[in-house]
Amino acid sequence: MSNTSLNQRELLSSSPQNTVDIKQVAKILVRQRLLIFSVSCLVVSGASLLALTAKPSYQSTMELAVSSNEYDRMRDSNQTSDLDSEITTRNFSVIDYTAQLKLMQSTALIQKAVNLLRAEYPKITVEHIKGKKGDIAPLVILPVDGGTKVNTTKNQVFEISFRDINPIKTQKVLQALQKVYQNYNIEQQKQRLSNALAFVNDKLPQIKKELSEAEHKLDQFRKKNNLVDPELQSKMALESLADVSKQLQTTRAQLKDVQARYLSLQKKLAESPKNAVISSRLNQSNRYQALLNEIQKTESALAIERQRYTDDTPIVQQLIQQRKSQVELLRQEAGKNIGSKTTSKNTSQPLMTQEQQEELEIKLAQELIEVQTKAIGLDANEKSLAESEKKLRLDLNRYSNLIADYNRLLPEVTSKRRTLEQLLETQQSLVVKVSQSGFNWQILEEAQAGIYLGGGGILTLVMGMIVAPLVGISAALIWELMNDAIYAAQDLQQLTNKRLLGKVPKLKSRRLPKKMPILAWNKLLILEPDLLESIAGLQFDESFDMINQNIQIMQGAKCKSLLLTSTIASEGTSTIILGLAVSAVNMHKRVLIIDANMRHPSLHKTLGLSNDWGLSLLLVDESNTPIKEYIQPVHPSIDILTSGPTPEDSVKLLTSQRMKEVIDFCESNYDLVLIDAPAVLNVVDARILASLSQGIIMVGRIGHVTKNEVIQAGDILSEMNLIGVVANCVNK
């Protein structure tokens, strides 16, 4: 592809086909004024029809507040802390009420309202309230804040309105919807609570029964074995056993020492006759021995109680005081026995002096009492501790078996109790959460009887008159966007990259009188520029002179034959040829017009000439008839060679040697030969003729030919002698 063709395609892509330049909007509106007017009339007509058939309309309104219970709960729980309150506000500052809006508009709820209204309005349906698809809905639900579905507060107020021709019906419908909304809110709260508690309520009786059975087994175990916690009791028994064993060892060691002292004292007493007498007196004293027995009993009781209580308890204190009293009595009794006069069997004199006797008595009494009472106490304590140790060891042996049974029963009770507590907590929590979840619907403004909105006829008509021109303009712009036609003469020049030779406006045609005989032209002198109007019924325009001048500037006098073709058919090539012919006559040239469009000729019809003979017959004539015989004069300076009868194969005729001879003859006998060729994109005839002519002019009809078509024709003719382009039917 050549650079010229490439530039043309780049130009096409760079000049968008689907956009409208703002500067060209005014031109587009002028160009499409008929379309705008037609569409506007249709819109106004439709609005008028609607205005005539419109019925009076009434509207009732109520307001419904939808609040988030979750938002209220979080806000109340954070009132104690400003920071927490701020965080909660941020987290719940945006609440989506879209689902609530859709729910209020749902078919299910509206059907419930319809069921309530059936008694009074038997024929009412959901479509009567919601409206049919594609129509304006009688029921309108909108947020009060202007239509946003996401609110920045804890609640959202919706305005619910209903329109109908019956004012009472509008109120009844909204009242039915109000009842449905309120009942639905209550049902949903009950349903949420029921669903949430279903699992918990099913599990609670079973868990309570299992817990009761486990506790009963544990109680029987404790009663049977007379214990509460064998592990704890075993641990305490083990600690007590260690303590008792330690005390027993200490007591036995002390008792051994005391016994050693007692034996030592007994030995000392045995060595002295005097002391032996004293010891004998004490052993023989019934009172003294009775007191020793009492002290021994008290020590045994005290040892037993000390295993159970501390020394601060009253019973232990009482035994300690009792022992103290008994020891004191024992000392007194010993003093009495020691203080008696001791005499020999053979003499009545005392064994020792009075002073010695008192000193010995006191010393012996203290030692005997101390050793004996201490030995008695230690012996009693040792027996008590030994008995306790034996009992504790028996208990420990018994606990080892009981602990296994206890550890099997207790975890089951603990597990069942924990499960029950969790279920109860879950139950309470669910009740609170469910009651605080979801949304609460509250009617703020009750529905009243419908307010008259008017028949709507005048409003519809006014709106139609306002909208009509807008719709017309929109239709024109859309048509322009969808249409690829060229509306500017400069586009022809840019797309073909050839010079724009001229712009021909749309010529006005006039009705002419009956055509004069052809031969009469030789005797008439027609004043110019009325020649074109005379021969074709078209008003002459100065643009033809401009085109001729541009051709002369570019080609000079050497260009004697010009081929005029177009991109597609019906672009006015024949009209341009006639205009150029008249312009050439004004420049004192003799012109020949050749109608080479043998497939669809039109020049003979425009000029009112016969087409029984012409170019097609000339090319097949083998009798060497002079070419002049086929040419018809239409003016003293203008001749025409019509196309003649339609041949079977026009391509064969145009590519013949005879055709080249005809062109050469015409160029030698006329100042200018204008060849009317078919459209380039329709048939191949124009391409053949282009190779025989000295210059080519492409005609483009503004508003008719498209950019793609111009580019395709330009690609074909760019390889030939294309002089330039002519824009036809240009609006001035």
Q: What is the DSSP string of 582-636?
A: HHHHHTT--EEEEE---SS--HHHHHT---SSSHHHHHH--S---GGGG-EEEET
Residue 63 lies in a domain: no
Across 2-6, 45-49, 304-308, 411-415, the highest mean pLDDT is recorded for 411-415
Residue 716 lies in a domain: yes
Question: What is the mean predicted confidence (pLDDT) over 187-200?
Answer: 75
| pLDDT value at 581 more than 60 | yes
Name the residue type at position 47: A
pLDDT reported for residue 273 = 57
Is the Cβ–Cβ distance between 679 and 567 less than 8 Å? yes
Question: What is the mean predicted confidence (pLDDT) over 99-125?
Answer: 86
| Measured distance CA(150)–CA(94) in Å, rounded | 7
Categorize the per-residue pLDDT at 9 as very low, low, confident or very high, splitting at 50, 70 and 90.
very low
Residues facing 673 on adjacent strands: 561, 592
pLDDT reported for residue 330 = 73
| Measured distance CA(290)–CA(282) in Å, rounded | 11
Categorize the per-residue pLDDT at 21 as very low, low, confident or very high, splitting at 50, 70 and 90.
low
Lowest mean pLDDT among 114-118, 230-234, 621-625: 230-234
pLDDT reported for residue 432 = 66
Between 80 and 98, where is the model more confident? 98
Question: What is the mean predicted confidence (pLDDT) over 513-517?
Answer: 44
| pLDDT value at 522 more than 50 | no
Domain count along the chain: 2
Q: Which residues contact 124 (CB under 8 A, 6 or more apart)?
A: 114, 117, 118
CA–CA distance from 304 to each of 238, 251, 327, 381, 395 (Å)? Answer: 19, 14, 19, 8, 18
| Measured distance CA(19)–CA(316) in Å, rounded | 116
pLDDT reported for residue 389 = 76
Q: Which residues contact 477 (CB under 8 A, 6 or more apart)?
A: 20, 25, 28
Lowest mean pLDDT among 59-68, 239-248, 518-527, 692-701: 518-527
DSSP 729: E
The length of the chain in residues reads: 732
| Measured distance CA(158)–CA(144) in Å, rounded | 6
DSSP 343: B
State the SS3 of 638-687.
EEEECCCCCCCCHHHHHCCHHHHHHHHHHHHHCCEEEEECCCCCCCCHHH
Domain ends where: 435, 462, 483?
435
Residues facing 504 on adjacent strands: 728
| pLDDT value at 616 more than 70 | yes
Lowest mean pLDDT among 209-223, 563-577, 647-661: 209-223
Is the Cβ–Cβ distance between 78 and 159 less than 8 Å? no
Burial code (b: 16+ CB inside 10 Å, e: under 16) for 343-372 equals eeeeeeeeeeeeeebeebbeebbebbbbbb
| pLDDT value at 485 more than 60 | yes
Q: Is the peptide bond before 529 cis (omega within 30 degrees of 0)?
A: yes
| Measured distance CA(286)–CA(292) in Å, rounded | 10
Residues 559 and 416 in one domain: no
pLDDT tens per residue across span 397-426: 777 777 777 777 778 888 888 888 888 888
| pLDDT value at 91 more than 70 | no
Residues 565 and 695 in one domain: yes
Element housing 502 (H / E): strand 499-505
| pLDDT value at 542 more than 60 | yes
Crossing angle of helices 107-117 and 167-225, rounded to 10°: 110
CA 337 to centroid of chain Cα atoms = 114
Between 210 and 306, where is the model more confident? 210
Residue 111 lies in a domain: no
Q: How many C-beta atoms lie closer than 10 Å to residue 688's C-beta?
A: 17
Work out whether strand 57-68 and strand 451-454 pair parallel, antiparallel, or are unpaired. Answer: antiparallel
Question: What is the mean predicted confidence (pLDDT) over 49-69?
Answer: 78
| pLDDT value at 682 more than 60 | yes
Using a pLDDT cut of 90, give the percent of the chain over it: 10
Burial code (b: 16+ CB inside 10 Å, e: under 16) for 18-38 equals eeeeeeeeeebbebbeebbee
Residues 431 and 536 in one domain: no
Residues facing 564 on adjacent strands: 676, 697
Residue 683 lies in a domain: yes
Using a pLDDT cut of 70, give the percent of the chain over it: 75
Q: How many C-beta atoms lie closer than 10 Å to residue 85's C-beta?
A: 16
Residue 252 lies in a domain: yes
| Measured distance CA(704)–CA(485) in Å, rounded | 6
Residue 52 lies in a domain: no
Residue 458: name the closest of 166, 163, 165, 47 by CA.
47
Crossing angle of helices 314-338 and 286-308, rounded to 10°: 160
* Residue 152 DSSP SS3: coil
Within 437-488, strands assigned E span 439-445, 451-454
| Cα dihedral: 571, 572, 576, 578 (round 10) | 150
| pLDDT value at 488 more than 50 | yes
Categorize the per-residue pLDDT at 155 as very low, low, confident or very high, splitting at 50, 70 and 90.
low
Handedness of CA 427, 433, 437, 443 (dihedral sign): positive
| pLDDT value at 85 more than 50 | no
Phi-psi region of 685 (alpha: psi -120 to 50; beta: other; left: phi over 0): alpha
Phi, psi of 212 (to 5 degrees): -60, -40
Name the residue type at position 285: S
Residue 91, class by beta-carbon neighbours within 10 Å (0-12 exposed, 13-18 middle, 19+ buried)?
Answer: exposed
| Measured distance CA(706)–CA(12) in Å, rounded | 11
Mean pLDDT, the chain, whole residue set: 76
Domain ends where: 391, 416, 435?
435
Domain enclosing residue 342, as ranges: 230-435
| Measured distance CA(724)–CA(550) in Å, rounded | 9
Between 117 and 7, where is the model more confident? 117
Give this prediction's pTM: 0.45
Question: What is the mean predicted confidence (pLDDT) over 451-463?
Answer: 71
Residues 391 and 534 in one domain: no
Lowest mean pLDDT among 176-190, 208-222, 429-443: 429-443
| pLDDT value at 98 more than 70 | yes
Residue 603 lies in a domain: yes
Residue 728: name the closest of 543, 465, 602 by CA.
543
pLDDT reported for residue 87 = 38
pLDDT tens per residue across span 332-386: 776 676 555 444 343 344 444 555 555 655 565 566 566 767 777 777 777 777 7
Domain ends where: 391, 408, 435?
435
49: which 2 tokens?
A: 């029809």
The residue whose two tokens read 């959202």 is: 156
pLDDT tens per residue across span 626-642: 888 899 998 889 999 99
Residues 431 and 544 in one domain: no
Residue 448, class by beta-carbon neighbours within 10 Å (0-12 exposed, 13-18 middle, 19+ buried)?
Answer: middle
The residue whose two tokens read 């807008």 is: 470
Work out whether strand 722-730 and strand 695-701 pair parallel, antiparallel, or are unpaired. Answer: parallel
The residue whose two tokens read 């590519």 is: 655
* Residue 459 DSSP SS3: helix
Between 226 and 666, where is the model more confident? 666
Residue 631 lies in a domain: yes
What's the N-to-C CA distance of the chain in angstroms? Answer: 36
Element housing 63 (H / E): strand 57-68
For the chain, helix (H) and strand (E) counts, in that order, are 25, 15
| Measured distance CA(684)–CA(654) in Å, rounded | 10
CA–CA distance from 282 to each of 286, 298, 341, 348, 497 (Å)? Answer: 9, 21, 14, 21, 160
CATH number at residue 557: 3.40.50.300
| pLDDT value at 96 more than 60 | yes
Q: Which residues contact 655 (CB under 8 A, 6 or more apart)?
A: 688
